[in-house]
Amino acid sequence: MGRYHWDIEQPNDPDVIFKPKFRGDWQAELDLFRPMDMTVDLSNPQTQVQWEEWLRLGYDAKSWSRKMAVDPTVMPRIHQCFAHMAWDTAHTSQCWLTEQKPMQHLPLHMDYLTSVGLDRAIVEQRGWRILVFLSDWWPGEFMVWGTETFSHWRAGWVLAFPACKYPHGTANVSYHSGFRLRTAGLMTPALQEWLASDSITEIN
């Protein structure tokens, strides 16, 4: 996997995927969202450096990050999205429901998947993260990945990208909360084929 070019005049590589992949209504389950207390393992060097940079900016991620684990018995429709992804089952994968409330943001950072518990070397080779948008875009929501800005998504769209490669950040200056399913793991041929296809998975 090539590294990011770090040239603000150049476009991203074609490995950032932004497209519709699911169709469903998740609102009833989103109403059950309850954020958990955030804990951070600062023993990892990458995590420690990232947090130190944020604190120098005056940014406290513990006050801004809102996520919860997805219980398939409570949120079966949301969990179906994760279950449909063919992550490498020989290694750990991750599934969180996140909320970004109005006026919340996440500064530019890199994803090393340290919270997944995977070795850095294998993450650099095969690590990916896939976000599933579970609520429609509203004016004022945007995401920056490398040199591209993403907006105008609909519920069921995905944003997928190789880990350890793209600096990225998000912001919400709308009047609505944005909900996303955040998944991560090691890529497989089956998952790569699914992402490349234009198929839409119905979630009932």
For the chain, the domains span: 17-202
Tell me if residue 63 falls in helix, strand or coil.
helix
State the CB neighbour count (10 A cutoff) for residue 199. 10
Residue 14 buriedness (CB in 10 A; 0-12 / 13-18 / 19+): exposed
pLDDT band for position 38 (cuts 50, 70, 90): confident
| Domain 17-202: CATH superfamily, name plus number | Jelly Rolls (2.60.120.10)
**How open is the CA angle 161-79-152, to the nearest 5 degrees?**
50
Find the range with the poorest average confidence among 111-120, 159-168, 170-179, 183-192.
111-120
CA distance 132 to 189: 20
Instruction: Tell whether the model's pLDDT for residue 192 goes beyond 70.
Output: yes
Instruction: Tell whether the model's pLDDT for residue 1 goes beyond 70.
Output: no
Instruction: Tell whether the model's pLDDT for residue 4 goes beyond 80.
Output: yes
Please report where in the chains the tokens 């996303």 appear, as a residue: 180
CB 145 within 8 A of CB 166: yes
CB 131 within 8 A of CB 145: no
Instruction: Tell whether the model's pLDDT for residue 100 goes beyond 90.
Output: yes
